[in-house]
Amino acid sequence: MKKRSILTIMLSVVLIFTAVGCGSSKKSDTIKIYDGQFAEMQLIHRMVKLLVEDQTDLKVEILDEMAPVNSFKELADGNSDLMNSYDGTLLTTYLGLDPSDVPDDMTLYDYANEQGSKEYGVHLLGKLGLNNTYAIGVPESVADKYKLETISDLAKVADQLVFGAEHDFFTEEGSAKFNPFSEFYGLNFKEAKQLDITLKYSAVQSGAIDVTVVYATDGLNRQAQLKILKDDQHYFPEYNGALLVRDDFFEKYKDAAPNLDEILDQLTGLFTDEIMTELSYQVDVEARTADEVAKEFLTEQGLLK
């Protein structure tokens, strides 16, 4: 009986390790992505899923939505494989650096990639073509009235206008905030209001504020009929969209998808700010699903079989 018990235990252990091994094998054939909180990130993630599952035997699992900082932590820790991100976000938010830290002989994108790989073992793939940086928006009616084309144009009429933005834009953390921005462009607004981010666009549409800060490719900019003023003195850093992956990403999936890099590279340069604004608008305003919009766009581009 004793021998039989020992054999039973040994067999159980073997079966457990076999099961674990099988489970690991399955996991290695599934790319994991924590979903983003905004339409743009959700659209890009679904395009990755569509392309990969259409052109390889890999599966892509899109997990629950997660704040970008938490999603990055999961990626750096090896609990996920990929996320939509931006070179400016990698540099300033995840690496805690500033655009002024970028060497003169390097671009922000290249420097962020170098430091991201060095510090966390991650890097950005090719630029998607969009620059979702901070932008200054005014209603079309205000732009027409004061003949506004650039942020510098605001300096002459700022004392007649009310600026409003979410609380975060008024903090002292980071350089891309209200006080250093206003000082840089010499803007002395009639009033500056701190708003809940959910009320910002309604405040613009109701006329409660005349000027606000937005993300360049947000579909709600179009709904609010905002004119995006040109950052003519290049105050805000670039936020070039790109897929952020672990350095071992392609090595991990090379057996199942040896051409995975080429498949994902189909997204490189595919977008413009205008294209992404339109796609985000369809999700945020027209209430279409990110899955539907992503598939329609890739089909129109001839990228799905």
Domain with 57 in it: what CATH number?
A: 3.40.190.10
Tell me, yes or no, whether 122 and 190 share the same domain. Answer: no
For the stretch 124-143, pLDDT in tens is: 999 999 999 989 999 999 99
Share of the chain above pLDDT 90, in %: 77
Domain CATH number, residue 223 = 3.40.190.120
Is 155 among the domain residues? yes
Is 16 among the domain residues? no
Residue 32 scores a pLDDT above 80: yes
Tell me, yes or no, whether 251 and 261 share the same domain. Answer: yes
Please give the structure tokens belonging to residue 229.
Answer: 């003023």
Among residues 210, 229, 248, which one ends one of the domains? 229
Tell me, yes or no, whether 86 and 225 share the same domain. Answer: no
Query: E strands of 235-295, at which residues?
Result: 240-246
For the stretch 236-275, pLDDT in tens is: 888 999 999 999 999 999 999 999 999 999 999 999 999 9
Tell me, yes or no, whether 211 and 62 share the same domain. Answer: no
Q: Which residues of 43-82 are buried (b: 16+ CB within 10 A; e: fewer)?
A: bbbbbbbbbbeebbebebebeeebebeebbbbbbeeebbb
pLDDT of residue 20: 41
**Domain extent for 167:** 134-229
SS (H, E, C) 12-80: HHHHHHHHHHHHHHHHHCEEEEEECCCHHHHHHHHHHHHHHHHHCCCEEEEEEECCHHHHHHHHHCCCC
pLDDT of residue 271: 98
Report the predicted TM-score, pTM, of the whole model to 2 decimal places. Answer: 0.79
Residue 5 scores a pLDDT above 60: no
Among residues 207, 229, 251, which one ends one of the domains? 229
Residue 17 scores a pLDDT above 50: no
Among residues 196, 229, 262, which one ends one of the domains? 229
Please give the structure tokens belonging to residue 280.
Answer: 């985000």
Is 255 among the domain residues? yes
Tell me, yes or no, whether 216 and 82 share the same domain. Answer: no
Tell me, yes or no, whether 127 and 139 share the same domain. Answer: no
pLDDT of residue 130: 96
Is 275 among the domain residues? yes
**Residue 174 pLDDT grade (very low, low, confident, very high; cuts 50, 70, 90):** low
Which conformational region is residue 269 in: left (phi greater than 0), alpha (psi within -120 to 50 degrees), or beta?
left
Total tally of structural domains belonging to the chain: 2
Is 17 among the domain residues? no
Is 14 among the domain residues? no
Tell me, yes or no, whether 52 and 99 share the same domain. Answer: yes
pLDDT of residue 233: 95
Is 22 among the domain residues? no
Tell me, yes or no, whether 57 and 174 share the same domain. Answer: no
Tell me, yes or no, whether 242 and 104 share the same domain. Answer: yes
Tell me, yes or no, whether 39 and 128 share the same domain. Answer: yes
Tell me, yes or no, whether 35 and 121 share the same domain. Answer: yes
Is 7 among the domain residues? no
Tell me, yes or no, whether 63 and 178 share the same domain. Answer: no
